[in-house]
Amino acid sequence: MSLFTSLNLGAGALLAQQAGVAVTGRNTANVNTEGYQRESIDLRAEPGSPLVGGVRTGDAYRSSDDLLSARERTQAGAGGHAETLAASLSDLEQRLTGGGGDLIGSIGDFFAGVGKLQSAPTDSALRQEVVAAAGTVAAQFRQAASGIAAATSEAKKQVTSLAEQASQLASQIATANRALATSNDPVLADQRDLAANKLAALVGGQARVDADGQMRFVLDGGAVLVDGGRAATLSAVTTGGTLALHAVDGVHDTDVTSQVAGGKVGGLLSFRNGVAAQAASDLDQLAYDFANQVNAVHRANIGLDGSTGRDLFVAPGAVAGAAAALTVTPAIVADPRALATRSPGAGPNDNGGVAALLSLRDAAVAAGGARSFGDEAIRMIGAVGSAAAQASADRDLQAARTDQLASARDSVSGVSQEDEMAKLAQFQHAAEAASKFISTVNDLLGTLIAQL
């Protein structure tokens, strides 16, 4: 082997160690970069007879585990779902029980007022108290309906915003796919994986890298969001009060609502079209039953002013919207003497109408005859609370699982500064050795040339 060949060998070794230093440098520089996966470099000995050959570097490759990545994306979807569902339910619970909201208490106070009126049906102050309490019940129904409407509206806004984010992420994946078709840059692959994880956190689903290196992102129900260089756009659409998610790929417009089971969007859809819709329906039914039952009793009895056949509450036209529209009949608010406290045929001091109203307090006339008004209000609000408690526990569980997977992923792909420092020292010493080799060969050459 000639000295010139040795010089090339030394140069190759120096370049190889420098490449190692560069990879170590890139790892260290990106220690806090989100989605960055630790890179390594292959050093392979050049084949050849003794005293011929050297070292060759391969491309930098990412330290990743495809199975772990898939599990992380699945977990991201579950975690996102649990996060938004828990937050939305907690918000709804606060709207129903906080800020002066006390439907249950108002129902109790109404019947307490009626109870007081038993022994003094002509007392004007007590009659005013009952009318005012009826007004409070109506106001509480309206407030609760408004709270549910606000919570569902907020969920819709979030879905709309998250759908836009999901569309952008899908577009990023498609862009990365197109770039990776002609490039092997690991950073592009990192960015694509990060976008896929974030997209999974938003809409659930799963991503798969095919043999051609292109990533395909598919929703839980099978709809394709990203296929190679093409990505669909997600948008939120309200139809008949129900929120839906549509995927548009330029040609087709597909309702993918039922296919988004996971992710933050899935959690919000579960909330809006599930618990929130049920709460709104239950509230309207309770308001409808309450108004109609009280009105039926009130109509059958007589006020101090001789009026009869009058509703205490403005009769709701239908179950839907009954809570939001509930009000006390204005004529009774204006003159509590119109409150029907006596039975037909009885004198003014009769309290038959009061007793009839009071009998509604504990009667099973709500929820299709299953329970009383107060118990139904407790069940309805309690159901939201139970769902919120369960969602909160699930969120904590999913967070723990996410942590666990993050630790496992970090163990494989994370950058350890200790490891990188060790490698840096290794490559540094190797580069110094290669430099020394080059210097030595150079001296030998110099000696030879001097002797010529």
Partner 1 sequence: MRVTESRMMQVASDGVGKARDRAARAAQAASSGTRVNVPSDDPAAWAEGRRAELRQAASTGRGDSLGRARDHLAATDSSLGTIGTALARIKELAVETSNGTYDAASRRDAAVEVGQLRATILAAANATGSQGEYLLGGSQAAAPFSAAGAYGGDTLTSTVEVGEGQSVQIGVPGTVLTAAGGTDVFATIDNLVTALQSNNAAGVQAALTPIDSIVGQVANARAQAGAQMSALDAADQARSALEVRLGDEKSRTLDADAVTAASTFAQAQNALAYARAVAGVVSQLAGKNS
If the CB atoms of residues 113 and 263 are measured against partner 1, the closer one turns out to be 113
To partner 1, the closest distance from the beta carbon of 76 in angstroms equals: 16
Interface contacts to partner 1, rule CB under 8 A: 31-32, 89-90, 93-94, 97-98, 104-105, 107-109, 111-120, 122-123, 342, 346-352, 355, 358, 361-362, 374-375, 378-379, 381-382, 384-386, 388-389, 392, 403, 406-408, 410-412, 414-419, 421
298: nearest Cα among 107, 140, 130: 130
To partner 1, the closest distance from the beta carbon of 103 in angstroms equals: 10
**What is the full DSSP assignment across 364-398?**
--BGGGTB-HHHHHHHHHHHHHHHHHHHHHHHHHH
If the CB atoms of residues 135 and 316 are measured against partner 1, the closer one turns out to be 135
Give CA–CA dist 67/59, Å, rounded.
Answer: 23
To partner 1, the closest distance from the beta carbon of 439 in angstroms equals: 33
If the CB atoms of residues 130 and 434 are measured against partner 1, the closer one turns out to be 130
If the CB atoms of residues 27 and 74 are measured against partner 1, the closer one turns out to be 27
Contact yes or no for 323/145 (Cβ under 8 A): yes
Beta bridge partners of 308: 302
151: nearest Cα among 16, 251, 271, 52: 271
If the CB atoms of residues 120 and 218 are measured against partner 1, the closer one turns out to be 120
To partner 1, the closest distance from the beta carbon of 319 in angstroms equals: 24
Contact yes or no for 336/349 (Cβ under 8 A): no
DSSP 8-class letter at 337: G
Hey, what are 232's tokens?
């669909």
If the CB atoms of residues 185 and 403 are measured against partner 1, the closer one turns out to be 403
Taking the CB of residue 259, how many other CB atoms lie within 10 A of it? 20
To partner 1, the closest distance from the beta carbon of 31 in angstroms equals: 6
To partner 1, the closest distance from the beta carbon of 113 in angstroms equals: 7
Helix (H, G, I), strand (E, B) or coil at 21: helix
The amino acid sitting at 233 is T
